[in-house]
Amino acid sequence: MAHKRINKELEIIGKASDLLFTVSPSEDLFTWAIDMGGPAGTPYEGGVFKFQFVFPTDYPFKPPKVTLTTKIYHCNVDERGHMCLAIINESWSPSVKITDVMKAIAELLIAPNTGSPVNADIAALYTDNRKEHDKNAREWTAKYAK
């Protein structure tokens, strides 16, 4: 069942023309590399962020493991690239598509969730000194998201 669902999602992604990301599945189909451009108007604009999606054998009943492999200055991403994002954790449902996950990630880059940070210092800076936060985020984007 997982193979069928993953292939269907690849087909949907292949037909879409308005996506902000590209997918490169591995030969085993259960591991994907995804590249996503930083959203316009954010300090991540101009960067290319790389993700690894690893699908479990019981997908879509269990969510893929999503890791951001590009370093990023963001309060909802830890140093190992794990994200605090409900759609891939407690809010997962078999009806969620990978396009939904990528949209949620883009939304998180546009509007960080400072109420549920994995890095409290970055969240505090975002809240207290947005200009300095954005400067740091732009610097990290230029350095790591090439």
- Residue-wise pLDDT for 108-118, tens only, equals 999 999 999 99
**pLDDT value for 20:** 84
What is the mean pLDDT of the segment spanning 10-22? 87
Helix (H), strand (E) at residue 49: strand 48-54
Q: 17 is in which domain, residue-wise?
A: 2-144
**pLDDT value for 15:** 86
Q: Which of 20-29, 95-104, 136-145 is least confident?
A: 20-29
124 pLDDT higher than 80? yes
Residues labelled as active-site residues: 84
| Cβ neighbours of residue 132 closer than 8 Å, sequence gap 6 or more | 125
The domain tally of the chain equals 1
Helix (H/G/I), strand (E/B), else coil: 135: helix
For residues 122 and 75, is the Cβ–Cβ distance under 8 A?
yes
**pLDDT value for 3:** 93
* Predicted confidence band of residue 19 (pLDDT cuts 50, 70, 90): confident
* Predicted confidence band of residue 16 (pLDDT cuts 50, 70, 90): confident
CA distance 53 to 66: 5
The better pLDDT of the pair 1, 76 is held by 76
52 pLDDT higher than 90? yes
Q: How would you classify the pairing of strands 65-68 and 31-37? A: unpaired
Q: Model's pTM, two decimal places?
A: 0.93
The neighbouring-strand residues paired with 37 are 48
Region of residue 73 (phi > 0: left; psi between -120 and 50: alpha; otherwise: beta): beta
CATH number at residue 96: 3.10.110.10
What is the mean pLDDT of the segment spanning 90-96? 96
CA distance 77 to 85: 9
